[in-house]
Amino acid sequence: MPADQPILAGRELHTYYGSSHILRGISIEIRAGETIGLMGRNGMGKTTLIRTLMGLVRPRRGQVLVDGVDATTWPTFRISQAGIAYVPEGRGIFASLSVAENLSIAERPGIDGSRAWTKERVLDLFPRLAQRIGNRGDQLSGGEQQMLAIARALLANPRLLILDEATEGLAPIIRDEIWRTIGLIRAAGIATLIVDKTVDAITALADRVVIIVKGEVAFEGSPATLKADPELMHRHLGV
């Protein structure tokens, strides 16, 4: 795979739900080792963008590229096999399976054969899961389910981890734990695309911030540039 190509990119994406034009020519790219914060108010197209990049929704126009190769028509599993892991907003864990079973079915080497992330390592990262190892998914709290979803994604040994609403609805102490974990994932060299409304946490971690307004990119730049423009932050993020 060419080193100069982004792992995942969208080029001029136009995505519709029925007659509703949701994405209006969005372009975005995530390169190896890069952390991007994807922000915007509710209903602006953030989740639709992720679903389009993951092949869960097809764009009417534009391209999805994986390592510079046109992946617009690839099924989601093929995008996943390219080393891209996705933790959806609803977490998507198997409610009737135990924590151990949820982890076991996800474990596989990365596309380069690496097994840097093992069951032991993710349980070290999330000691709470180790304590709940025999519990079913539906017996976990919301925070524990989110930890399990992230742990399961890491066991695929991805190059890129996409987190949609990483800390939505979680207690503050659990949110802090999730942000600490995302920091460790970033330090381990995994590229991350994070959708979240927590401006301070995103700007502390991200290399770049992308703000979407009504299906278009309204801002793209460094956290420092964003924080230097409080009027823009207030207008687009309500802070």
Question: Looking at the predicted structure, is the pLDDT value of residue 165 above 80?
Answer: yes
* C-alpha–C-alpha distance, residues 34 and 47, integer Å: 19
pLDDT, average across residues 123-146: 94
> At a CB cut-off of 8 Å and minimum separation 6, what does 203 contact?
37, 209, 223, 226, 227
Token pair for 123: 């349980």
Task: Write out the H or E segment, with its range, that includes residue 154.
Answer: helix 142-154
Segment (H or E) for 22? strand 20-30
Residues 175-223 have pLDDT tens digits of 999 999 999 999 999 999 999 989 999 999 999 999 999 999 999 999 9
Please write the tens of the pLDDT for every residue from 11-53: 999 999 999 999 999 999 999 999 999 999 999 999 999 999 9
Residue-level pLDDT at 2: 54
Query: What pTM was computed for the model?
Result: 0.94
CATH class of the domain comprising 1-83+192-239: alpha beta
Residue 3, pLDDT score: 59
Q: With cut-offs at 50, 70 and 90, classify the pLDDT of residue 121.
A: very high
In this structure, how many other beta carbons lie within 10 angstroms of the beta carbon of residue 4?
7
SS3 content of the chain, % helix, strand, coil (to 5): 35, 25, 40
Q: What is the C-alpha separation between 177 and 183, in angstroms, rounded?
A: 10
